[in-house]
Amino acid sequence: MGSAKARILLLALAGALAAPAVPLPAAPLAAPVASYEISCRLDPEKKTVEGTELLTWTNTTSRPAPTLQFHLYLNAFLNTRTTFHREAGGIARGVPIPDSWGSVEVLRMTFADGTDLLPALVSISPDDGNPDDRTVAEVTLPRPVAPGETVRVSLDFRSRLPRVFRRTGWKGDFFMVAQWFPKIGVLQEAGWNCHQFHANSEFFSDFGDYDVSIDVPSRYRGKVGATGKRVEERQGAGDRVLYRFRQESVHDFAWTADPDYVVVKDFFREAGLADVELLLYVQPEHASQAARHFRAVKAALSRMGRVLGPYPYPTLTMVDPPWGASAAGGMEYPTLITCGTHVIAPATLQKPEEVTIHEFGHQFFYGMIASNEFEEPYLDEGFNSYMTDRVLKATYGPDHPVVNVFGYRIALGIDKIYPVDAERRFFDVSTQDIHAQPSWKFRDGKSYGADTYSHTALALATLENLLGVNVMDRALRLYADRWRFRHPTLNDFIRCVNEVAGRDWTWFFDRTFRSSGNVDYAVEKATSTRAKAPKGLFERDGKLVDGPPPALARVRGYDSMALVTRRGETALPVDVLLRFEGGKTYRSSWNGEGRWKRFRVSGGPRLLEAIVDPDEKLALDEDHTNNGKRVVPDPRAASRWTARSVFWMQNFLDTLTVAW
């Protein structure tokens, strides 16, 4: 490289490093559709939040809206007959659901013209018709809201929080207040999109501006974290303190309070990305892990920001729930995420790091891109798992810590929802459901998790391998830019991929998302035998004579064959590599459509092994152990592992018998 060029490059690099952070946009990021002004008061003894809500809502469809529909999420915890309880079967996040009940009551509802709407408010169950479910309510308006018209609805509500077992609730003095206020659904051209609260589903709502005042006892002074930026703190009446938070262009609001919180601040600044104030509300016994949380979230801000565009909000609040309230952890809300760690959390296990990065990733897919988590949960959880893996691998390396116990390696910290790392064979597999379907229609929670998280992440990793990382990043960026603050569907992402790739990749999504199929290619057989001269009658000088002509009689090398089969239901294009003696290789491609394909090489060197998908592009391949076949068996590994197995068995028996 010439010195002039080098100087220019250095200057450019220096300029990039010195570039000021992207200023925050002055204008709202998204046109507000549903904005809220809420004043609420926490009663820690009664575990209730009472509030007044002023909803400003715009009909963005082309049709008048004669009704409004509201989510009353906390009613999911009303009793054991709700849809949530029926679907959960008494278990939430692997823990028995306690007998602690939650509810949200609408005490007053008034239309802009002063009409009392409360008598017209009725519960509906659009998903399953469960008459005992009260998580969705509909109110008929005195007059339809015209297209483009903005109306205001004022209401009073009382929310009773459960002992936390599913994202929201209390434990002692700790409060995680989420899904807590009556919240309007999303009106689309086809009508209201307002689903009930299900065991496996998350949420969907319109963007708006939130201005929330929170009145808490003074023992919570300085220990209240929430969506958005704190704009006010003042002494309230009596022994109370009042906080006010504001945030534009978000679609939900959550807050937390715990007198035990240790609040730690940090700041993210990186050239080309927006500045972000980082707030960590951490438990005292985890305070020593604050730096790990910050490192993780900064890595995510940087690496995800460079692929998906800058995180545009001025703050990010991280919450560490206390012991016994882990059900509140690992959840995302706009500009606020709940993490989770333990007192014993070796750095090599990357546990708080993993959950922090993952929950931050939701700020893009759930927060800004805001796809419908009820109907297409994989667009958030699966896409985010894919990006989480990329950030984890880039930041902490691809390998997970492994404990070697007498030659048997026990992997630590492997989470099967992040399967695209170096040990990506760790993932749950499910072929019980169409991979891409509404969250409440999965057969069970395991199937939901396997399809929504790991299958989607693996499908995207496969797509990345087939497209190349640059094309994939451009497609993701186009998707994120085009659909930021809107509500895209899978089709919208497919269009972005097609646009960037310049080819139609719909087939890929039809096979990997819109089917229940699995991917598994295998080398069934590989042989290599010394080539033999042909035998029989051959025509020579117009006569049939016994034996081949000299040209055919001279044979050299080996005849090799590899039989590759498709064991899975899903067909994807795949490479096949034949490796020969002398370092020679033969690479071929197969469209993967048939059930099998035979590859032959005649007269070449001796075949050593045949490998299907040698570059491991098909991350979706559920069994990589059958992807290759050696012509000459190598018994060394099996013999050693047999010896180790006997040794382990001896130790097992010795340990078993030592006790009695």
Partner 1 sequence: MSPVRSSGALACFGRGLRASLSKPYLAVSLWLIQLLLASVLILPVSNSLHDLLDDSPSASRMVANPDLGWWETLLRTHPDLLGNFPDLLTGLLTPEGVTSSKLSGLRGIGAAAVSLGLLAIVLHAFALGGIFGTLREPHGSLVTFGREGMRRFPAFLAFTLAALAAALLAYRWVWLETGLALNERMRELQSERQALAITLARVLLLAFVLSAIKLVADSVRAIWVARPDLPPVSRFFAGIAGALARPVRLFGVLLSAIVTILTLYAIWIVADPSAGGEARFALVPLILTQQVFVFLRSLIKVGYYAGISEALTRTPSPEYSYVAAPSSAAPVAPPAPDDEPPLENPAGAV
The contact set with partner 1 (CB under 8 A) reads 98, 171-172, 283-285, 322-324, 342-344, 402, 404-409, 411, 423-426, 429, 526, 609, 611, 622-630, 633-647, 649-654, 656-660
Measured from the CB of residue 280, what is the shortest distance to partner 1 in angstroms? 17
Task: Count other C-beta atoms under 10 Å from residue 64's C-beta.
Answer: 13
Nearest to 173 by CA among 129, 205, 136, 219: 219
Measured from the CB of residue 274, what is the shortest distance to partner 1 in angstroms? 35
Cβ closest to partner 1, residue 58 vs residue 518: 518
Cβ closest to partner 1, residue 165 vs residue 197: 165
Nearest to 102 by CA among 65, 74, 130: 74
- Whole-number Å distance between alpha carbons of 230 and 227: 9
Cβ closest to partner 1, residue 191 vs residue 401: 401
Which are the contacts of 7, defined by CB distance < 8 A and separation ≥ 6? none
Measured from the CB of residue 634, what is the shortest distance to partner 1 in angstroms? 4
Measured from the CB of residue 524, what is the shortest distance to partner 1 in angstroms? 10
Task: Count other C-beta atoms under 10 Å from residue 634's C-beta.
Answer: 9
- In single-letter form, the type of residue at position 471 comes to V
Classified as helix, coil or strand, 419 is: coil
Cβ closest to partner 1, residue 267 vs residue 647: 647
Measured from the CB of residue 250, what is the shortest distance to partner 1 in angstroms? 32
DSSP string, 213-238: EEEEEGGGTT-EEESSEEEEEEE-SS
- In single-letter form, the type of residue at position 39 comes to S
Measured from the CB of residue 497, what is the shortest distance to partner 1 in angstroms? 28
Here the tokens at position 327 are 């059900």
For the chain, helix, strand, coil in percent to 5 are: 30, 30, 40
Nearest to 109 by CA among 61, 48, 58, 67: 67
Cβ closest to partner 1, residue 35 vs residue 518: 518
Question: CB–CB of 616/624 below 8 Å?
Answer: yes
Cβ closest to partner 1, residue 285 vs residue 473: 285
Measured from the CB of residue 218, what is the shortest distance to partner 1 in angstroms? 21
- In single-letter form, the type of residue at position 30 comes to A
Exposure class string for 495-522: b at 16+ Cβ within 10 A, else e:
bbbeebbeeebeebbebbbeebbbbbbb
Tokens 């002509």: give the residue.
549
Measured from the CB of residue 350, what is the shortest distance to partner 1 in angstroms? 16
Measured from the CB of residue 357, what is the shortest distance to partner 1 in angstroms? 22
Cβ closest to partner 1, residue 280 vs residue 475: 280
Classified as helix, coil or strand, 55 is: strand
Question: CB–CB of 216/240 below 8 Å?
Answer: yes
Cβ closest to partner 1, residue 1 vs residue 659: 659
Cβ closest to partner 1, residue 99 vs residue 541: 99
Here the tokens at position 118 are 């409360």
